[in-house]
Chains A and B, each alone.
Chain A
């Protein structure tokens, strides 16, 4: 015969899947909204960057110079797929300025300055059409073209004078080498290494934070559902141990949260891959950096990160269950789980701004006992070689989780689950009192 745990677990899964309060409001809607948000952001960013990088567009040109270089520049624009519409004066250009990229004014003396070896200036009139990423990126295209034209002229001048353009443009240069632990990665742009490292250090704790929020909300709701549907009294009299009751709720909330968290992970990974594909790709450098990082932080770091991550999840879940025992309905449970999720996410973000690498090992170990936020420290603790503090993070996360879950199971084993109330709704106060004292 099915065990009491399994019976309760199956019921929990059925309730979660069928209850629109849980399925739609807590799982489907947030995932769809997040997917949509990231989808739109990703598509817009990609579109904006592509638009900005694509040459071409309409330019309203007011040539007041009429010299050789003015004509040369106009031809340069036309050869780079820009449609040049000429106007005799600025006023008429402004009057007709609608969808064009900008108004470009070549002032009198432009050609003469360049010919004499002086710096020449162009005037740009750029219309702000709206505060959109695409419009701003598109507007900046003109500066890129002017920069390219300027480089071309200086190259030409320098070559004519017998000088190396590379030498003149940057006589002093540098190459970057990154040291992670004992590994040196030569000739690499620091951003190519710090980017993936930041994603690694931020991404995993963020996903764990999201999962913890999910688990907290689901488990708090699943406890409150028993009260709201007036099943708690019946449930407490069934031959079902309180441990099995809690364990079944925890397991069901955990599994559904993992599925939900998995969906978030896919959405965020897809978004980051979209964004990172826009920049210069150097997968080799990133993978070298990651393997060097793994070597530097030690094999214990990812293991302890997972261990501490699960400890944090159970801690969030325990707190949620504990608080949900004292509320009467799903709405209150969802509000109360919000009290857990908000500080949890905030503490993870605070952790990102703390540089613990400059602290002494004792200070690092002391700070490692702060729950939730300590998840973010594991990677940095690995870099500083403080394995003791990493172990403190993992063990303290589990210690807190066990203490909270123990307290929760003790409370559910007593009548306190029935008699204590954290939040009494005004309209129900007299009713609750009546129920308890009859």
Chain B
């Protein structure tokens, strides 16, 4: 029986003002798995990831990471996860190196471990000597690579990535996908990601959960889903489940 890294059970989230974002969401993520949450805009993907990252609190239901409840034991959860928000930025008046040092200082047990983390992040980011430049001089792609690097360098038990390649060009997107895949395998990092890009999800994910209106409406490996819904690719699966307008 594989260890469950993420256990989400009947999760509900109602925002102030009464907007229901999640309506009984349930899914699990296994150890060393790359799990993708896909769904249309407003389906509840980001809300789910934010609850798991301990930023938002669930209205009801439970969400556990390695058995720790995100609501009652957030400090323990935070030591296990690394979260990359979709709209993440970085302190633009720090250099890339200083930013990595800042993040690594929260996780490394000693100076040597910290240096190792930073060296690894430097390599992951592929920023070369630009790592010593101020972040304000970075392009969008460079910034995203730096953020991916800071997320993976700490070897988290669970990496939560919200739209990891959002807004990036093909070259940068491909590079980031490769990094995620390589590091997840190499270091046994469990990854939970959300994406709109079905190709990305098909390439990266071992299993996929399709969210619609705050619930998981289908779950399985990309191959299983394609077979079940008699579709050529995940995009077709998605359209068949969620529905789409005929042109």
Complex interface bits, B79-123 against A, C-beta within 8 A gives 1, otherwise 0:
101111101111111100010001101111111001000000000
Which of A4, A237, A436 is B15 in contact with, Cβ under 8 Å? A436
B89 & A230 in contact (Cβ 8 Å cutoff): yes
| Interface-side segment among A10-18, A347-355, A357-365 | A10-18
Q: Give CA–CA (A236, B84) in the complex, Å.
A: 11
Residues of A within 8 A of B89 (CB): 229-231
Q: A238-B103, A239-B106, A418-B56 are in contact. Are A233 and B88 (CB under 8 A)?
A: yes
A1 & B111 in contact (Cβ 8 Å cutoff): yes
Does chain A have a CB within 8 A of B78? yes
Does chain B have a CB within 8 A of A435? yes
Q: A230-B85, A234-B88, A237-B83 are in contact. Are A11 and B19 (CB under 8 A)?
A: no
Q: A1-B110, A241-B75, A438-B46 are in contact. Are A229 and B55 (CB under 8 A)?
A: no
Which of A14, A240, A437 is B106 in contact with, Cβ under 8 Å? A240
Complex interface bits, B1-45 against A, C-beta within 8 A gives 1, otherwise 0:
000000000000001100101000000000000000000011111
Which of B47, B107, B109, B111 is A438 in contact with, Cβ under 8 Å? B47
A14 & B55 in contact (Cβ 8 Å cutoff): no
A236 & B105 in contact (Cβ 8 Å cutoff): no
Which of A1, A2, A414 is B57 in contact with, Cβ under 8 Å? A414
The chain A residue sitting closest to B105, CB to CB, is A7
B107 & A239 in contact (Cβ 8 Å cutoff): yes
| Distance to closest chain A CB from B107 (angstroms) | 7
Complex interface bits, A427-438 against B, C-beta within 8 A gives 1, otherwise 0:
000000011111
Does chain A have a CB within 8 A of B54? yes
| Distance to closest chain A CB from B4 (angstroms) | 20
Residues of A within 8 A of B109 (CB): 1
Q: Give CA–CA (A227, B109) in the complex, Å.
A: 29
Does chain A have a CB within 8 A of B204? no
A239 & B75 in contact (Cβ 8 Å cutoff): yes
Does chain A have a CB within 8 A of B191? no
| Distance to closest chain A CB from B10 (angstroms) | 19
The chain A residue sitting closest to B93, CB to CB, is A18
B91 & A11 in contact (Cβ 8 Å cutoff): yes
Residues of A within 8 A of B98 (CB): 14
Does chain A have a CB within 8 A of B53? yes
Residues of A within 8 A of B41 (CB): 434, 438
Known: A14-B98, A15-B93; 7 extra A-B contacts, CB below 8 A, are A4-B105, A4-B106, A14-B93, A14-B94, A15-B94, A230-B85, A236-B53
CB-defined A-B contacts under 8 Å, sample of 20: A1-B111, A4-B106, A11-B91, A11-B102, A18-B94, A230-B87, A230-B89, A233-B50, A237-B81, A238-B78, A239-B79, A241-B75, A415-B56, A415-B57, A419-B15, A419-B56, A434-B41, A437-B15, A437-B21, A438-B43
